[in-house]
Amino acid sequence: MCGIAALQIRDVGLRASLGELMHGMLCGIVDRGPDSAGLAIYNDPTLTPAGTSTVTVLNAELTPDALAAALRDALPPAVGVTVTVTGFGETTLINAQIGTGALEDAITSILPGVQIAGRGEHAAVRKGTGHPLDLAELYDLRSATGSQGLSHTRMATESAVTAAGSHPFTVADDLCLVHNGSFSNHATIRRQLRAEGVTCDSENDSEVAARFIAWCLAAGDTLTTALEKLGSVFDGFYTLVVTTATSMAIVRDPIACKPAIIAETDAWVAMASEYRALAHLPGIESARIFEPAPGVVYTWTLDSTKELVTL
Amino acid sequence: MTLTQAPVHIETVDLAVSTVRELNQALHATDDGTSWVVDTPAGQHNIAVGIDRDLDLVVNGHVGYYFAGMHQKGRVTVHGSAGVGLAENIMSGTVHVTGDASQAAAATGQGGLVIIDGNTGARCGISMKGVDIVVGGDIGHASAFMAQAGRLVVCGDAGEGLGDSIYEARIYVKGTVASLGADCVEKPLRPEHLAELAELLTLAGRTDAPTDFRRYGSARTLYHFAAVNAAAY
């Protein structure tokens, strides 16, 4: 069992409340996964300042100050490049005014083998082990603002309780995946992806799904098409939420063992494992509330378009 | 002579203030004939489970998992929707949801009546053992799986695999059936079926015409081992 809660806000006036609303949603899914948790927040000007890249590393062996100093030495001496490094327990968030790839390269030159758990220009990923509400305090979730976010509470089944095994999985720029369920053929698909040159950095089944989607997107698929392909390749139980810089998609396996409920208003669309995570949202009384049908990919974009595709 | 009826006292419980356990314990300890209103359920789980008093209970808002599980007596109404396992293993009494219900509504129910005005998710009436279920809208896949007794009335459409491995129980569907499960077949709608269907629809407060429904049930070919299949084992 795991918990998922995701929120996309279309009403620009409500985006200052993203963290507050997501905190309430997280409270509603704690019981489903008390061993670890993670968050992705999109377009928070403090976490992901405009014009910078943001990379998340796990269990960095340097203090934030030492890592920042090392990065300033390592980065090309471009005029005006500032580096910000902030520690959040097992997660360290690094911002710099250079491309994500260059920033990742600089980080791995300083910390060889370090696990990179987040990357992009819009998404800030933080995750770790411990009680989800303690982690929410550590990450100061209630102060977050932005356009969309997703959260996950984990009850581990397929791999160890570690920060690396926590969700979301962010294996390409601004692409985040959270999963409730378990895949039964992930080892086979991991081997196939490795043969294609894809690197996995945990033994987690959900990471393989994230790698698969990233691989499809890199080959030119849309998010919806990538999830359709996932449905034909992956075997197991899943409710997935996948976000990109501009969109949020939800899909359940055709047997629909794992729960999901969606609430939609003109101002926002929210998804959670259980209704009680949505009960506090503004305007929930008049929201359109429904369970996503089995085997259907639902995709919403920040410009308010919506797409439904049956697997 | 003038008969003055005593005003009905209604006990109100706000679940923003009281816990679900406090409510449930109060419902278990109360007298027959009492009336209860529950506000602010906020999707919490296990509300109103195990009621064995002949009471009336109204819940204003959406409820979570296993609402009115093991229901034994009384009439329970939710003005909202219900999560997974609504009225699971209901024994008798009535549970009415004005909105939708998630999967496994009235699962394993042994008796009583469960009314859902909206739609249900998958596995509605799974392993039903005598409960009557009336759904105003559609039901999801694998509904009435291994149903053993009772009646399932669906005024909308049914999803894939309806009545798979059904033993007994009678299923009435007004709309389309995406597919029938193993050993579930359409059967003739005889006068006694129209009569029981009319009764169930009336109990559920519906005006649908019984003649618009089709009946499904067990072909009873899975009851006994068939020697022709011996090689499959």
Report the complex ipTM.
0.86
Same domain, A10 and A63: no
Cβ proximity of A242 and A221 under 8 Å = no
Topology adopted by domain B22-225: Pectate Lyase C-like (2.160.20)
Give per-residue burial for A34-73: e unless 16+ CB within 10 Å, then b.
bbbbbbbbbbbeebbeeebbbbbbbbbebebeebbebbee
Closest by Cβ to A275, choosing from B83, B103, B141:
B83
Same domain, A197 and A107: no
Residues in B touching A279 (Cβ below 8 Å): 42-43, 62
Same domain, A138 and A219: yes
The residue whose two tokens read 């006036």 is: A13
- What pLDDT score does B4 carry? 62
A2 is catalytic: yes
A279 touches chain B (CB under 8 A): yes
Domain count, chain A: 2
**Helix residue ranges per DSSP H, A111-146:** 132-138
| Domain boundary, last residue among A121, A141, A167 | A121
Among all residues of chain B, which has the CA nearest to that of A31? B45
Residues in A touching B65 (Cβ below 8 Å): 274
| Per-residue pLDDT tens over the stretch A189-240 | 999 999 999 999 888 899 999 999 999 999 999 999 999 999 999 999 999 9
Cα separation, A298 vs B69, in Å, equals 32
Task: Check CB contact under 8 Å for A294 and B42.
Answer: no
Cα separation, A14 vs A266, in Å, equals 12
- What pLDDT score does A81 carry? 78
Task: Check CB contact under 8 Å for B43 and A278.
Answer: yes
The residue of A1, A25, A273, A276 whose CB has the most chain B CBs within 10 angstroms, and thus the best one to mutate to test that interface, is A276
CATH number of residue A66's parent domain? 3.30.70
Same domain, A95 and A238: no
A274 touches chain B (CB under 8 A): yes
| Domain boundary, last residue among A121, A151, A182 | A121
**Long-range residue pairs from A210-214, CB within 8 A, at least 24 positions apart, any chain:** A210/A169, A210/A170, A210/A171, A210/A175, A210/A177, A211/A171, A213/A175, A213/A177, A213/A242, A214/A171, A214/A172, A214/A175
Burial bucket for residue B37 (CB in 10 Å: 0-12, 13-18, 19+): middle
| Per-residue three-class SS string for chain B | CCCCCCCCCEEEEECCCCCHHHHHHHHHHCCCCCEEEEECCCCCCCCCCCCCCCCEEEEECCECCCCCCCCCCCEEEEECCECCCCCCCCCCCEEEECCCECCCCCCCCCCCEEEECCCECCCCCCCCEEEEEEECCCECCCCCCCCCEEEEEECCCECCCECCCCCCCEEEECCCECCECCCEEEECCCHHHHHHHHHHHHHCCCCCCHHHCEEEEECCCCCCCCHHHHHHC
A160 touches chain B (CB under 8 A): no
What are A16's two structure tokens?
């200052």
Same domain, A28 and A94: no
A172 touches chain B (CB under 8 A): no
Residue A79 has pLDDT above 70, yes or no: no
With a CB cutoff of 8 Å and minimum separation 6, the contacts of A203 are A159, A160, A165
Is residue A81 within a helix (H) or strand (E), and if so which, with residue range? none
- What pLDDT score does A8 carry? 97
Cα separation, A14 vs A9, in Å, equals 7
Residue B61 φ/ψ, nearest 5 degrees: 130, 180
Cβ proximity of B108 and B129 under 8 Å = yes
Cα separation, A179 vs A237, in Å, equals 9
Closest of B164, B156, B103 to residue B134, by C-alpha: B156
Cβ proximity of B53 and B27 under 8 Å = yes
Residues in B touching A290 (Cβ below 8 Å): 100
Q: How close is the nearest chain B Cα to the Cα of A32, in Å?
A: 12
Residue A80 has pLDDT above 90, yes or no: no
Cβ proximity of B187 and B171 under 8 Å = no
What are B141's two structure tokens?
């896949």
Burial bucket for residue A86 (CB in 10 Å: 0-12, 13-18, 19+): middle
Residue A1 has pLDDT above 90, yes or no: no
Q: How close is the nearest chain A Cα to the Cα of B123, in Å?
A: 10
Mean pLDDT over all residues of chain A?
Answer: 94
Q: Kindly give the parts of chain B with pLDDT less than 70.
A: 1-7
Same domain, A57 and A113: yes
Q: How close is the nearest chain B Cα to the Cα of A23, in Å?
A: 16
What is the reported pTM? 0.91
Cα separation, B150 vs B110, in Å, equals 8
How many residue pairs from chains A and B have C-beta atoms closer than 8 A? 43
Same domain, A73 and A187: no
Cα separation, A3 vs A152, in Å, equals 6
**Helix residue ranges per DSSP H, chain A:** 18-27, 64-74, 100-110, 132-138, 186-195, 205-218, 223-233
User: Would you place residue A82 in the very low, low, confident or very high pLDDT band (cuts 50, 70, 90)?
Assistant: confident
What are A181's two structure tokens?
């369920």
The residue whose two tokens read 């196939």 is: A192
Task: Check CB contact under 8 Å for B100 and A275.
Answer: no
Question: Please, which residues 76-105 of chain B have a Cβ atom closer than 8 Å to chain A?
Answer: 81, 83-84, 100, 102-103
% residues pLDDT > 90 (chain A)? 90
Range A78-85 average pLDDT? 80
User: Would you place residue A56 in the very low, low, confident or very high pLDDT band (cuts 50, 70, 90)?
Assistant: very high
Cβ proximity of A289 and A261 under 8 Å = yes
Cα separation, B204 vs B215, in Å, equals 18
User: Would you place residue A77 in the very low, low, confident or very high pLDDT band (cuts 50, 70, 90)?
Assistant: confident
Residue A173 DSSP class: T
CATH number of residue A301's parent domain? 3.60.20.10
> What does the domain layout of chain B look like in residue ranges?
22-225
| Domain boundary, last residue among A121, A154, A176 | A121
Same domain, A144 and A208: yes
Is the omega angle on the peptide bond into residue A168 within 30 degrees of 0, that is, cis?
A: yes
- What pLDDT score does A304 carry? 73
Residue A57 has pLDDT above 60, yes or no: yes
Active-site residue among A2, A176, A200, A216? A2
Residue A183 sits in which domain range? 2-45+122-310
Cα separation, A148 vs A176, in Å, equals 11
What are B232's two structure tokens?
């499959």
A30 touches chain B (CB under 8 A): no
Q: How close is the nearest chain B Cα to the Cα of A49, in Å?
A: 36
A289 touches chain B (CB under 8 A): yes
Bridge partners, A295 (sequence order): none
| Per-residue pLDDT tens over the stretch A21-44 | 999 999 999 999 999 999 999 999
- What pLDDT score does B118 carry? 97
B44 touches chain A (CB under 8 A): yes
Looking at this protein, which amino acid is placed at residue A273? S
Task: Check CB contact under 8 Å for B64 and A289.
Answer: no
Cα separation, A123 vs A139, in Å, equals 14
| Per-residue pLDDT tens over the stretch B24-82 | 999 999 999 999 999 999 999 999 999 999 999 999 999 999 999 999 999 999 999 99
The residue of B45, B62, B66 whose CB has the most chain A CBs within 10 angstroms, and thus the best one to mutate to test that interface, is B62
Closest by Cβ to A289, choosing from B45, B81, B121:
B81
